[in-house]
């Protein structure tokens, strides 16, 4: 099977400009990273602050290009894509979920979720149908016309997940998706992401500094100082997702 995304010997260096007195400094944020995400896989990439997670996420999202090495999306090297092809890749094949939700504050949940379909050129009637279906899939069928301020943090993140999935991407990238939520709500969002990964077959990559969040993924990769450590370090025992729900917590 062709991987959804594959990194081959990827490095990313940032060159900080030389000042009048200082010489240029090169920061080696990624120092030779290779791994592949198969269709439908669920992978967590975990590491401490400064380890290169954001840099890697930008590359996996085709938002940035590597200094050396290659990134392939469904077998195509990003280096060979022109700007239009890159924009199409980002808009149709990759969905993003961020720590800060990144919703438009003045528009409804429905309009937020339909927005990527506007960019994709989908006609109005179909946009609405697909946005409603995506909101129903994340359990927000009764919140279509609520604006973000009228929703809880967990609900806002569900809207963001629906927006990421409405284009039916092959790859869902989640950057610290629970970072702005309390533990119980964070576990609900992780359970939702896991269910969507299982039910819709979208490959899921969760980037996190939280080893407990990472432990929920069947495959875990650690990143440290710009290098990957694929499965060599045992994570803490997985917290059982199905036992972490609020219903059971309050019942018990």
Main-chain phi, psi angles of 248, to 5 degrees: -70, -40
Which residue of 3, 4, 46, 52 would you call a contact of ligand ADP, by CB under 6 A? 52
**Token output for 211:** 């080893």
From 45-53, 97-105, 145-153, 227-235, span contacting ligand ADP (CB under 6 A): 45-53
Near ligand ADP in 5-24, by CB under 6 A? 14, 16
* Residue with Cβ nearer ligand ADP (48 or 218): 48
SS3 230: strand
Nearest 5 degrees, angle CA 15-CA 17-CA 19? 150
Main-chain phi, psi angles of 224, to 5 degrees: -150, 130
* Distance in Å, CB of 209 to ligand ADP, minimum: 7
Quick check: 238 binds ligand ADP (CB under 6 A)?
no
Quick check: 170 binds ligand ADP (CB under 6 A)?
no
Burial class (CB in 10 A: 0-12, 13-18, 19+), 95: buried
* CA 37, chain centre distance (Å): 13
Closest of 107, 108, 113, 220 to residue 158, by C-alpha: 113
d(CA 49, CA 78): 27
Closest of 60, 57, 59 to residue 4, by C-alpha: 60
From 52-60, 89-97, 102-110, 243-251, span contacting ligand ADP (CB under 6 A): 52-60
Contact 241, 216 (CB under 8 A): yes
* Residue with Cβ nearer ligand ADP (49 or 105): 49
Which residue of 18, 26, 27, 124 would you call a contact of ligand ADP, by CB under 6 A? 27
Q: How many residues in total does the chain contain? A: 252
Quick check: 208 binds ligand ADP (CB under 6 A)?
no
Which residue of 18, 50, 129, 218 would you call a contact of ligand ADP, by CB under 6 A? 50
Q: Count residues near ligand ADP (CB under 6 A).
A: 12
Quick check: 51 binds ligand ADP (CB under 6 A)?
yes
* Distance in Å, CB of 26 to ligand ADP, minimum: 9
Binding site for ligand ADP (CB under 6 A): 14, 16, 27, 29, 47, 49-55
């Amino acid at each position: 099977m062709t991987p959804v995304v594959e990194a081959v010997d990827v490095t990313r260096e940032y060159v900080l400009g030389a000042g009048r007195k200082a010489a240029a400094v090169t920061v080696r944020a990624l120092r030779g990273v290779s791994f592949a995400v198969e269709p439908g896989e669920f992978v967590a990439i975990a590491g401490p602050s400064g380890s290169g997670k954001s840099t890697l996420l930008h590359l996996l999202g085709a938002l940035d290009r590597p200094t050396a090495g290659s990134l392939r999306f469904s077998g195509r090297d990003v280096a060979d894509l022109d700007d239009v092809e890159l924009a199409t890749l980002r808009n149709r094949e990759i969905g993003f979920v961020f720590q800060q939700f990144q919703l438009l504050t003045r528009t409804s949940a429905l309009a937020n979720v339909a927005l990527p379909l506007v960019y994709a050129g989908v006609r109005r009637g179909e946009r609405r149908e697909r946005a409603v279906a995506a909101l129903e899939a994340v359990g927000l069928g009764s919140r279509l016309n609520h604006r973000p301020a009228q929703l809880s943090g967990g609900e806002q993140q569900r809207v963001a997940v629906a927006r990421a999935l409405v284009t039916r991407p092959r790859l869902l990238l989640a950057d610290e998706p629970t970072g702005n939520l309390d533990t119980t709500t964070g576990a609900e969002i992780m359970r939702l992401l896991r269910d969507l990964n299982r039910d819709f077959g979208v490959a899921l990559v969760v980037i996190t500094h939280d080893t407990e969040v990472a432990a929920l993924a069947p495959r875990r990769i650690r990143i440290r100082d710009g290098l990957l450590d694929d499965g060599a370090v045992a994570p803490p025992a997985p917290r059982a997702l199905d036992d972490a729900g609020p219903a059971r917590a309050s019942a018990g």
